[in-house]
Amino acid sequence: MIAFWIVALFALVGALVVVLHRNPVYSALGLVLTLFQVAVLFALLDAPLLALLQVMVYAGAIVVLFLFVIMLLSLEPEKRLAAPFPVAVAGLVLAATLGFGLVVSGTLPLRSGVPSRLPADFGSPESLATNLFTKHQLPFELTSVLLLVAVVGAVVLARRRS
């Protein structure tokens, strides 16, 4: 439980850096911190495979891509912009609604469908793999199509310029 609060604190700090820091490189690194802490949370919740894959894919690959894009565009630290009044209000309302929803869903009792005792192998790499490759074959196969589209799209966009 103590571990949870420490990890959650770091995750929040990272998230705040992402949103508030004016230098995009710092934001990307804040994102790494948050993603890493979320991975630790997964590990604390008995999902080691998910935790490690989170680090590998998000922290190890996707944020590297973000950093490359930031450097490619050589983004300057952004100027502080005053948002127009309606936009600011809309953002505030949206954030408040989301926050309220999160608090409510966090305090409500669990749905009755969730068993109070989890199976012994819950979250283990084996059970995750078995679920993925026996019950969710179609989404798994469709993922490859999605990735294919990503590759082709990237090549087409990069080629158009040259």
- Give the x-and-dash track for 38-57 against another protein (CB under 8 A): -----xx---xx--xx-xxx
- Give the x-and-dash track for 73-112 against another protein (CB under 8 A): -x-x------------------------------------
From the list 91-99, 100-108, 114-122, 137-145, the region that binds another protein by CB under 8 A is 137-145
DSSP H or E stretch at residue 96: helix 85-107
Distance CA 132, CA 126 (A): 10
- As to burial, measured by CB atoms within 10 angstroms (0-12 exposed, 13-18 middle, 19+ buried), residue 65 is exposed
From the list 10-18, 97-105, 108-116, 145-153, the region that binds another protein by CB under 8 A is 145-153
Query: Judged by CB under 8 A, which of 1, 81, 110, 145 binds another protein?
Result: 145
Distance CA 4, CA 75 (A): 35
Largest CA distance in the chain: 59
